[in-house]
Structure 1
Amino acid sequence: MRHEVTPDDTAAALGSGDVPVLATPRLIAWLEAATVRAARPSTGAGSTTVGTAVRVRHLRPTAVGGAVEVSAQAPADPTGRRLTFQVRAVDDSGELVATGEIERAVVDRDRFVAAAAGQVSDR
């Protein structure tokens, strides 16, 4: 998945810093989106995945107008409900921007949404 960095993607815009470069939270969101796509073969009817852990090293800045290609490698032999993805982002010059792991859990979608809704109504 290729993303071009816009002013809305910067640390200054997201409040995670005061510099006009790709914000780590935005980068992590893009990496998570790649894991969602990569997880699809591991989910059956009625199930989805939810993020449970993020370990990402943001290694170099990307300026507005620059682009990064994000990817997620699914586990070779997934077992159980936990999936650990190897993630990375590379800029247009071929330099590694980020690397890490993102874990997702396979859940029953309706049951998960109902549980979340119950938490909100209990407040």
Structure 2
Amino acid sequence: MNMMNKYVDLEHVVEESGLASTMKSGSLAVLATPQLAAWMEEAACACLGQADDLGTTPEEQEAMTTVGVKLDLDHLKASPLGATIKVRATLIKVDGRKLEFWCEAWQGEDLIGQASHKRVMVDAEKFVNKTYGFKQ
């Protein structure tokens, strides 16, 4: 299966926990940029498919996860509490274990954010062990 240009749409409602004033990323009661970034990462993760989609065996896929390494986000318009936001992540490039996504966020017909997002496939156990300083 060709993963290129595979996409996932997720829908979220702006809740108090995701407001700039609540997250301390600003003082206004509008969608916080960190919340928008998290939704884009969530959509990118949801976009990933079966082991054969990424050129790995089922056994390798079981041990693998992805980690975000770069998110270049433009938050274009403010969204109020209660707004419904549709986030789309599209897988646009696979280079070995490197994955690149294009993400967009919409409130109705208005584009409120867009981002390029890079993730890398890693062996989950090795990654955690290295992070916490355990010898392998």
Question: Given the two structures, how large is their TM-score scaled by the length of structure 2?
Answer: 0.81
Structure 2 distance, partners of 1:10, 1:80, is: 37
Sequence identity percentage: 32
Q: Which of 70, 76, 85 is 1:68 aligned to?
A: 85
Aligned-residue CA RMSD (Å):
1.4
Task: Indicate the residue corresponding to 2:97 in structure 1.
Answer: 81
Paired positions, count? 117
CA displacement 1:14-56 (0-9 Å, x = unmatched): 0000000000000000100011111344362211100000101
Letter in 2 for 1:61: A
Q: Deviation above 6 Å: which 4+ runs of structure 1?
A: none
Letter in 2 for 1:72: A
Structure 1 distance, partners of 2:106, 2:49, is: 23
Task: Indicate the residue corresponding to 1:28 in structure 2.
Answer: 37
Question: Given the two structures, how large is their TM-score scaled by the length of structure 1?
Answer: 0.89
Extract unaligned runs of 5+ from structure 2: 1-9
Structure 2 distance, partners of 1:40, 1:47, is: 12
Extract unaligned runs of 5+ from structure 1: none
Q: Which of 94, 100, 108 is 2:115 aligned to?
A: 100
Cα offset for 1:13?
0.2
Structure 2 distance, partners of 1:16, 1:40, is: 33
Letter in 2 for 1:65: G
CA displacement 1:40-74 (0-9 Å, x = unmatched): 44362211100000101000011001010111101
Q: Secondary structure at the match of 2:69?
A: strand
Cα offset for 1:7?
1.2
Cα offset for 1:8?
1.2
CA contact (8 A) 1:74 1:85 kept: yes
Structure 1 distance, partners of 2:99, 2:124, is: 16
CA contact (8 A) 1:9 1:23 kept: yes
